[in-house]
Amino acid sequence: MPLVAESTYQPPFYLFNGHLQTIVPSLWRTVPDVAYQRERLELPDGDFLNLDWSRLPPMRPTNGLVIVSHGLEGDASRPYMRGMVRALNRAGLDALAWNYRSCGGEMNRLLRSYHLGDTDDLDLVLRHALATGRYRRVFLVGFSAGGNVTLKYLGENPDRVPTEVQRAAVFSVPTDLQASSVHIGRLQNQVYLRRFLKSLRLKVRAKAELLPGQIDLAGIEDLRDFQEFDSRYTAPMHGFDSADAYYQHASSGRYLGGIRVPALLVNAQNDPFLPASCFPREVAAGSPFVFLETPPEGGHVGFPEGSPDGEYYSERRAVEFLTAEVPA
């Protein structure tokens, strides 16, 4: 019954609510000591992904590879990604932080982009890494949207997951996308919603310039929430009949029971993005593989600490879980 009974996370005293624990790390944290080597991965459908590698020096043998997936409208350069990569490298692990289609500073080629249930690209990245022949042990880490993709990948078709995949750790995951899309529209969350929609509108406009005549921009500025945006753009651009159909297909919560490798899910109780349905306690209680930790504090993709080495709780917890012989 992998319900983590008690979390050890304690935020700094001056970050005393979920909004501060979310916003301060996002806007003011810096992680300078990470050096990526970028690789362009050409895809079978004519598109591409940009992969950012952070490998250990040749004289230092690696204990495996961790594939790190970012959140909605993020990329490998975000502080939470760089912080996790640094912690993994310190623990003797290579890291591969991949950028979704249209992310990482470069628009993708096709009409489609990325969505929160797209596990095929994660599978392509994973198999590309395995094809190097360098890794017999692989771990997965994901934040928010990337955590949703990671959990869905592990649970929707367990037989597809390569045997090299040992464990996963994900943080701040909207396992119920329908409820989460409503929850973020609450008055107290408008600052987050407006920021996401601004970024998404810019992406659609850039895609319309790249592919003239294929995207209708009329009324794009009138879209006021995720349901409207996803109905207008995300769903039809990725083959779904409606936003509801997209949310139903893409939500990782419905696939958790299929997970067959130890997977840690850490969702803070004060996360402003997550409704009650994103805390799957019953599933974790009945699964030998899904470890659910719900600290009272942490915010969304936050978990800041005042540690002298600059690491955050999410990073320490991921390393602890991924490298443990018996997860707990």
Tell whether domain 18-183+255-323 is in CATH 3.40.50.720.
Answer: no
**CA–CA dist 16, 97 (Å, integer):** 30
pLDDT at position 308 is: 72
Q: Where are the domains of the chain?
A: 18-183+255-323
What pLDDT is stored for residue 325 in this prediction? 65
Q: 291: part of which helix (H) or strand (E)? A: strand 290-293
CA distance 118 to 121: 7
**Amino acid, res. 189:** N
CA-based nearest residue to 167, from 25, 246, 239, 63:
63
C-alpha separations of 201 from 102, 115, 195, 218 in Å: 13, 15, 10, 12
Order of strands, sheet of 94-99, starting from the edge strand that comes earlier in the sequence? 37-42, 48-54, 94-99, 65-69, 138-143, 165-171, 263-266, 290-293
- Residue 215: CB atoms within 10 A of its CB come to 16
State CA 325 to chain mean position distance. 24
Residue 58 neighbours by CB distance under 10 Å: 6
Q: What is the pTM of this model?
A: 0.96
pLDDT of residue 59: 79
AA letter at 132: T
The pLDDT of residue 200? 97
pLDDT at 328: 40
CB atoms within 10 A of CB 219: 9
Cα separation, 99 vs 275, whole angstroms = 27
d(CA 87, CA 94): 10
pLDDT along the chain (328 residues), means of 10: 80 95 95 95 98 92 95 98 97 97 95 97 98 96 98 97 98 98 96 97 97 96 96 97 98 97 98 98 95 97 89 97 70
Residue 169 tokens, joined: 């750790």
Q: Is 232 helix (H, G, I), strand (E, B) or coil?
A: helix
Spatial separation of the C-alpha atoms in residues 98 and 305, rounded to whole Å: 26
Bridging pattern class, strands 138-143 and 94-99: unpaired
The predicted structure's pLDDT at residue 6: 82
Q: Is 176 helix (H, G, I), strand (E, B) or coil?
A: coil
| Closest CA relative to residue 137, chosen from 160, 158, 168 | 168
